[in-house]
Amino acid sequence: MKLFDLTGKYAIVIGGGGGIGHSMAQGLAQAGARVGIASRNLDNLKAVADAFKKESGLTLDVFQVDASDEESINKLAQDVKKAYGRIDILVNSQGFNVKFPALEFDMNEWDRLFSVNVKGVMMACKAFGAIMAEQKYGKIINVSSVRGIRANAGGNSAYCASKAAVDMITRCLAAEWAKLGINVNAVCPALIATPMMEKVMAEPGRAEQYTRNIPLGRLAKTEETVGTCLFLASPASDYVTGQMVYCDGGLTAIG
């Protein structure tokens, strides 16, 4: 079966130095793609790539980018095109969260979050979409969140709003670029069991707090987003575009 075979494809994962992006980059490489990972911290990227090489024998190329700066993203797109000759798959996994009560939200922090989570995603789609349009082929996968459709208290107004914006960017670009041969979709996880979250979950009552509305009864592992990424990157999803795919343990199924 070649539905999920990415041999001969070229991919770039922005935010591929850790977390979900790192797991997705590894999965794409294991499925046969030539994969580059990009972030601001070049030393971290090199360490991640070296560790993956030792573990799997597979190569991850490294590229430096500031996901909040359009000139830097445009340079990344041209560097990737120069290195690979084309780009078939873009994964936008850049993003972060800062929390403030809404009545006390620092608007400078709000702008900083939106500059990466929203503007950075749009700038990357624009830069790499231009290359994909020339090729008349491309798969763009934005990493969003269940927080794009489900609100959450605790100072998350900026993060939730940013992910709702990513969802709508995904839908709009899917509609606008369909005739250009570009599929645009999003992977939307719920809470991920990162090392930081594992420490939080160890606090009394926290595990029940975070999992009581998840039918599967636990947080996701970063690698549990990889299958969805591979589906959206592969020929298996050629007729799928503009979709938010929820890796959420059933959270959005119950309201």
- Is 210 noted as a catalytic residue in this protein? no
Residue 249 has pLDDT above 80, yes or no: yes
Band of residue 196 on the pLDDT scale cut at 50, 70, 90: low
Q: Which residue among the candidates 10, 84, 137, 159 is catalytic per the annotation?
A: 159
For 79-130, how does the pLDDT look when each residue is reduced to its tens digit (9 = 90+)?
Answer: 999 999 999 999 999 999 999 999 999 999 999 999 999 999 999 999 999 9
* pLDDT for the residue numbered 193: 84
For residues 242 and 237, what is the distance between their CA atoms, to the nearest angstrom? Answer: 11
Band of residue 212 on the pLDDT scale cut at 50, 70, 90: confident
Residue 201 has pLDDT above 90, yes or no: no
Residue 200 has pLDDT above 90, yes or no: no
For residues 33 and 21, what is the distance between their CA atoms, to the nearest angstrom? Answer: 15
CA-nearest of 209, 190, 92, 96 to 150 is 190
Q: Which residues contact 140 (CB under 8 A, 6 or more apart)?
A: 89, 90, 92, 125, 128, 129, 132, 173, 182, 183, 184, 185
Q: Which residues contact 220 (CB under 8 A, 6 or more apart)?
A: 189, 190, 191, 192, 193, 247, 248, 249
Band of residue 206 on the pLDDT scale cut at 50, 70, 90: confident
For 2-60, how does the pLDDT look when each residue is reduced to its tens digit (9 = 90+)?
Answer: 899 999 999 999 999 989 999 999 999 999 999 999 999 999 999 999 999 999 999 99
Write down the architecture of domain 10-191+224-248 according to CATH.
Answer: 3-Layer(aba) Sandwich (3.40)
* pLDDT for the residue numbered 140: 98
For 141-186, how does the pLDDT look when each residue is reduced to its tens digit (9 = 90+)?
Answer: 999 999 999 998 889 999 999 999 999 999 999 999 999 999 999 9
Q: What is the mean pLDDT of residues 67-89?
A: 98
**Helix (H), strand (E), coil (C) string for the chain:** CCCCCCCCCEEEEECCCCHHHHHHHHHHHHCCCEEEEEECCHHHHHHHHHHHHHHHCCCEEEEECCCCCHHHHHHHHHHHHHHHCCCCEEEECCCCCCCCCHHHCCHHHHHHHHHHHCHHHHHHHHHHHHHHHHHCCEEEEEECCHHHCCCCCCCCHHHHHHHHHHHHHHHHHHHHHHHHCEEEEEEEECCECCHHHHHHHCCCCHHHHHHCCCCCCCCECHHHHHHHHHHHHCHHHCCCCCCEEEECCCHHHHC
Q: What is the mean pLDDT of residues 195-203?
A: 76
Virtual torsion, Cα 65, 71, 75, 78, nearest 10 deg: 130
CA-nearest of 96, 122, 119, 128 to 20 is 96
* pLDDT for the residue numbered 117: 97
Q: What is the pTM of this model?
A: 0.95
